Structure 1
Amino acid sequence: MYLLRRFKFYTLIRKYAYRLLKMFDKKLWPTIIYTVILFGLCVTVWQLRTDSDHVTEYSAIQYNVYTTNTTGYSYPLQTLPHDDYHRLINLKNFTFTIFNNPCNESNPTLLILVHSNPKNFEKRKIVRETWGKNTPQVKVLFIIGLVKIRRLKMQLQKENEEFGDLIQGSFYDAYRNMTYKHVMVLKYAIYHCPQAKYILKTDDDVFVNMPLMLNFLNLDLSPFGGSRMIFCTLRKNSPAMRSWRSKWRVSFKEYPDKVYPPYCPGWAIIYSPDVVFELYREAQKTDYFWIDDVHITGTLVAKIHLSHVNIDSLVLDRKEQTDALHQPSRCNRTFLYGAPNMNNREIKALWECVKTREVHVSLLKYIT
């Protein structure tokens, strides 16, 4: 029965095909041939255009920090758990024990959140007096944890009353709590400064070439913000330290792999807001690992399938920094950051060196 139905179907098809062919005059065949050729050419052009679009799209993925922005980006807080604000990774009942909100009713280009040891009063003072001034475009806050010494608590309260730029979380400021501190940076940006177009996480012994930084963000990138962006001094193939003599020692239970994923040393990282949110969301549901650089900018960055942009070439090395400090005429070297772990004198001197320099220069050619 099945074979009979198939035979009747094919017979019907041949019948109508023969009638259709008889309808065409022989003179029409050249027209048909030309039409087929034209159709083939159109398909080829369309395919080439599609392939070109794929190449362009791939290039945009590789270099989208230069070509895209998140104008009007808003953090999708509704996708977070209802108790998210009062939770920090595995800490319940989290709160900001010292809080300031300079972003209120403003639209800063850059939010800078500076990791600081609570005892580093002088370092914070130097940052405020040099590159870290609060302006309409730039909001600077210092991130600290709880302290046990009563005298130090009183000093911090007094400092905050005077400057209004401390953010303290409800965990103790300790070496193994640095991941809490870093995730608190992301939490603060999301909940309390969503207007910021870029977020810089840095340390209190770092020098930021602020005039050139603003030029870079507003002109090289976009005054409206970037997307899928993380700029840092990238580190690759770093081994997990197992020696008991190393302060960076991790056990196999803490981290079983031999080598860390590519990651950013935490002293200077620029994030776009969407990346801040994606990393924060992952951190909130991922097991705690105390080396924040590796955990957040390595493991979690890999989870969200993001590529780092390496800016090593925009950091002064020690020799260049020494030359610039002793010979101001050599301060023309294009850079975003001084060498890591600077002392107060070096930060002050480098600020004097750069604050009046020409900043209208593109940095894109320096980025790898």
Structure 2
Amino acid sequence: MARCFCRWRAVLICVCTPCICLLLLFSYAVVLMVLTLNGIQVKSEVVNSESSVTDSPRFVAPGTFNNGIFSSQPKHFWDHRGHRALWNQLQLRADRHFNPILNLKKTTNQQNFNGLDGSFFENMTLFKTTSNFTKLPEQLQRFVSYMDRRDYPVLLQPGGECGAQAEGENERPLLLFAIKTTEGNFLNRQAIRQSWGREGWVRGQWGNGSGGGEAGGYVRRVFLLGKRDSGEPSAAFSLVLKMESDRYGDMLQWDFHDTFFNLTLKDVLFWRWFSASCGDTAFVFKGDDDVFVNTPKMVAYLLDQLREPQAHKATRDFMVGDVIVGAPPSRDDSSKYFIPENFYRGFYPRYAGGGGVVYSGLLARRLHRVSQRVHLYPIDDVFVGMCMIRLNALPVYHPAFLTFDFPDQEEQEPCSYHKILLVHKRSPDQIRRLWANMTLTRRECGHVPLRVEKKTSGTPSEDALLEIPAVQIPRLPL
């Protein structure tokens, strides 16, 4: 009897021990997965740009990127524990909706927001009952009421396939100027057409006599706008705008109200239009209609990017501008950038100021795809930064992008405008005068290199240069 008992005990031990180990291992895996879905950093998986994009279940700053930038970034740029913040909760539901682990039956290339309508309205109802929705600024109330909508009819579109272009183009366009404007800003548009925004072939201008000699590229132009608020008389403006569109063929207008918070719509709708109409365009400049651009230097700078080794791979994530780092939302209710805590909690991701930014056409198409998984945000350049984080990419800071104007008395220095790629806040008359002056001084100033950040003491690291715009957070650009 004792022998039989020992024999059965040995059998039970041999059989049960592996089962118990497997059960413990399974429990550990379940706990690890739950922790991962609730805050542990998950690196986003980026698929080839020509295929669908697979993203992480939550916006997570990857820390160190492979594009040469090493910078500090909050672990989560938005607070996933912000249960009372509407945008946070909407995005959390969106992430879970597109998470292939939580939704095994959903394909990874599902990218539209149609399946989120129910969760959007559910959260909206909860938001209006649990928080004081009526105390939000009127502009933000309107934004929230329509933030789930992205399908707006096109009222005007360019005559050419991809914006206004010169006749007889014999190579793919190098650069498309996509300029945010409004119906009433005709003088701004006209100044741009007559100066730095002229369509056609532009010869590059290299500093120190280096570069491609007579090399250049074709430039195209399109103006992005909505329509005037319904409370304002707009029939006359619409007629004049139609005549302007027929004359210049560079207007892209949608049927939504052109407000500050709706600038984000110009990004997502432009990306959709670009993806369908501008497949061969190498780069996009997106900026305001009150900036001045040094087009010859811009062309030279972009041609240099295409000459880099493995340029196609390098331009996949290419975005350059005046970068803002670690900015918190404005809680000043007198500011047009005011975002209350019950709408959004957390820091903003690294983003390039919307006054003027350049990115590759390849990245524009990738932004179009990934933006369909990100809820609209009322600050357009912040929204672009959110989409960039989702692509596991970061914008690159360049000191020749002056979205906050020249520092100190630098504008008075000789050849100052030949050293920059962009400067913000210039009137139409100033734009014309600057362009004429640059044309006259090109012989003596064309050799100057692009602006670099001035060193005060020691040699600052690249990180220090990237952090510089963060001190200008109160003056966030459009």
What TM-score comes out, normalization by structure 1 length? 0.69
- For the pair 1:132 / 2:132, whether they are aligned, the reply is no
C-alpha distance 322-335 of structure 1, shift in aligned 2 (>3 A): closer
Q: Is the 8 A contact 1:227 1:275 kept in 2?
A: yes
Q: What does residue 177 of structure 1 align with?
A: 262
- For the pair 1:282 / 2:282, whether they are aligned, the reply is no
Structure 1 CA distance for aligned equivalents of residues 258 and 324 of structure 2: 26
* TM alignment of 1:103-122, pairs within 5 A: 103=161, 107-122=172-187
Partner SS for 1:232: strand
C-alpha distance 222-184 of structure 1, shift in aligned 2 (>3 A): farther
C-alpha distance 243-331 of structure 1, shift in aligned 2 (>3 A): closer
Q: Which of 358, 369, 373 in structure 2 is aligned with 1:270?
A: 358
Q: Is the 8 A contact 2:111 2:373 kept in 1?
A: no
Structure 2 CA distance for aligned equivalents of residues 82 and 292 of structure 1: 20
Q: Is the 8 A contact 2:177 2:221 kept in 1?
A: yes
Structure 2 CA distance for aligned equivalents of residues 146 and 333 of structure 1: 36
C-alpha distance 320-277 of structure 1, shift in aligned 2 (>3 A): farther
C-alpha distance 221-314 of structure 1, shift in aligned 2 (>3 A): farther
Q: Which of 53, 61, 66 in structure 1 is aligned with 2:67?
A: 61
Q: What does residue 354 of structure 1 align with?
A: 438
Partner SS for 2:353: coil
Gaps of 5+ in 1: 1-57, 64-78
Q: What does residue 141 of structure 1 align with?
A: 222
Shift of 1:204: 0.4
Q: What does residue 91 of structure 1 align with?
A: 149
Structure 2 CA distance for aligned equivalents of residues 300 and 169 of structure 1: 22
C-alpha distance 285-126 of structure 1, shift in aligned 2 (>3 A): same
Cα deviation, 1:275-334, whole Å, max 9, x if unaligned, reads 2122222222221211111111x222111111221013443606557526xxxx534651
Partner SS for 2:68: helix
Q: Which of 305, 330, 333 in structure 2 is aligned with 1:241?
A: 330
Letter of the 1:61 counterpart: N
Shift of 1:197: 0.3
Q: What does residue 159 of structure 1 align with?
A: 244
Cα deviation, 1:63-91, whole Å, max 9, x if unaligned, reads 8xxxxxxxxxxxxxxx676999xxx9832
Q: What does residue 100 of structure 2 align with?
A: none
C-alpha distance 360-233 of structure 1, shift in aligned 2 (>3 A): same
Q: What does residue 7 of structure 2 align with?
A: none
Partner SS for 1:305: coil
Cα RMSD after superposing both structures: 3.1
Cα deviation, 1:34-89, whole Å, max 9, x if unaligned, reads xxxxxxxxxxxxxxxxxxxxxxxx996328xxxxxxxxxxxxxxx676999xxx98
Shift of 1:274: 2.6
Letter of the 1:123 counterpart: N
Structure 2 CA distance for aligned equivalents of residues 293 and 346 of structure 1: 25
Q: Is the 8 A contact 1:89 1:286 kept in 2?
A: no
Q: Is the 8 A contact 1:111 1:138 kept in 2?
A: yes
Partner SS for 2:334: coil
C-alpha distance 244-93 of structure 1, shift in aligned 2 (>3 A): closer
Cα deviation, 1:117-171, whole Å, max 9, x if unaligned, reads 1110111000001100011500011100023411111111111111111000121
Shift of 1:101: 4.6
Structure with the largest fraction of helix: 1
Q: Which of 168, 186, 191 in structure 1 is aligned with 2:253?
A: 168
- For the pair 1:102 / 2:160, whether they are aligned, the reply is yes
More moved, 120-129 vs 309-318: 309-318
Partner SS for 2:225: strand
Structure 1 CA distance for aligned equivalents of residues 281 and 409 of structure 2: 32
Partner SS for 2:422: coil
Structure 1 CA distance for aligned equivalents of residues 193 and 333 of structure 2: 38
Structure 1 CA distance for aligned equivalents of residues 367 and 67 of structure 2: 18
Q: Which of 332, 341, 348 in structure 1 is aligned with 2:425?
A: 341
Q: Is the 8 A contact 1:234 1:309 kept in 2?
A: yes
Cα deviation, 1:216-260, whole Å, max 9, x if unaligned, reads 111354497632111010011222111221111112232111x21
Structure 2 CA distance for aligned equivalents of residues 204 and 332 of structure 1: 18
Shift of 1:110: 0.3
Partner SS for 1:139: strand
Partner SS for 2:255: strand
Q: What does residue 260 of structure 1 align with?
A: 348
More moved, 193-202 vs 315-324: 315-324
Shift of 1:353: 2.4
Q: Is the 8 A contact 1:178 1:291 kept in 2?
A: yes
Q: Is the 8 A contact 2:400 2:452 kept in 1?
A: no
Structure 1 CA distance for aligned equivalents of residues 451 and 406 of structure 2: 19
C-alpha distance 183-145 of structure 1, shift in aligned 2 (>3 A): same
Q: What does residue 412 of structure 2 align with?
A: 323
What TM-score comes out, normalization by structure 2 length? 0.54
Q: What does residue 8 of structure 1 align with?
A: none
Letter of the 1:187 counterpart: R
C-alpha distance 99-239 of structure 1, shift in aligned 2 (>3 A): same
C-alpha distance 306-236 of structure 1, shift in aligned 2 (>3 A): same
Structure 2 CA distance for aligned equivalents of residues 59 and 178 of structure 1: 29
Q: Is the 8 A contact 1:99 1:166 kept in 2?
A: yes
C-alpha distance 320-201 of structure 1, shift in aligned 2 (>3 A): farther
Structure 1 CA distance for aligned equivalents of residues 255 and 417 of structure 2: 43
Q: How many positions carry a matched residue from both structures? A: 287
